[in-house]
């Protein structure tokens, strides 16, 4: 193998390793790379999109979402969180329905963005820990 062939082979191998590293590091959602904080990441979504219908003034379906205790208690339909299991958690499944589904939450306004939905999913998957947050 001459110098040119060996150099080309080494560069091609290095490029393949770099591409694999880049693909591997960017293929996972950002939320999987770091612990999701309720206070920092989830509460701003809940406060802006859920509390107007599920807060201190209105509690549609007897669901209040402005305190950790209320979120854990659930509402008329039962508990909305199954820590570690987003697909079993109504909090996640209702925001993740198709746009034309009548059960989609929030009921008013635009649906949550894919990033907001993923943040909620990741938080529940990571155990739905409220940290020190008790209420807004």
Query: Tens of pLDDT along 15-53?
Result: 444 443 433 333 344 445 689 999 999 999 999 999 999
pTM summary value:
0.76
Which residue carries 């509690």 as its tokens? 59
Q: How far is CA 113 from CA 97, 101, 135, in A?
A: 12, 16, 24
Structure tokens belonging to residue 4: 């040119």
How is the chain split into domains, by residue range?
Answer: 1-33, 35-136
pLDDT tens-digit series, residues 72-107: 999 999 999 999 999 999 999 999 999 999 999 999
Please tell me the distance from the alpha carbon of residue 64 to that of residue 45, in angstroms, as a whole number: 15
11 has a pLDDT exceeding 60: no
Is the CB of residue 122 less than 8 Å from the CB of residue 36?
yes
In this predicted structure, what is the pLDDT of residue 34?
86
Closest CA to 74 of 84, 82, 63: 63
């Amino acid at each position: 193998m001459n110098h040119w062939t060996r150099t080309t082979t080494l560069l091609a191998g290095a490029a393949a390793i770099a591409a694999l590293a880049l693909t591997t590091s960017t293929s996972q959602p950002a939320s999987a790379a770091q612990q999701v904080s309720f206070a920092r990441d989830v509460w701003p979504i809940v406060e802006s999109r859920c509390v107007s219908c599920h807060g201190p003034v209105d509690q549609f379906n007897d669901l209040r979402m402005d305190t950790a205790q209320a979120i854990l208690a659930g509402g008329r339909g039962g508990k909305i969180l199954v820590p570690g299991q987003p697909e079993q958690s109504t909090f996640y499944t209702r925001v993740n329905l198709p746009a034309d589904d009548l059960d989609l939450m929030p009921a008013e306004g635009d649906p949550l963005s894919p990033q907001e939905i993923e943040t909620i999913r990741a938080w529940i998957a990571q155990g739905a820990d409220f940290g020190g947050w008790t209420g807004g």
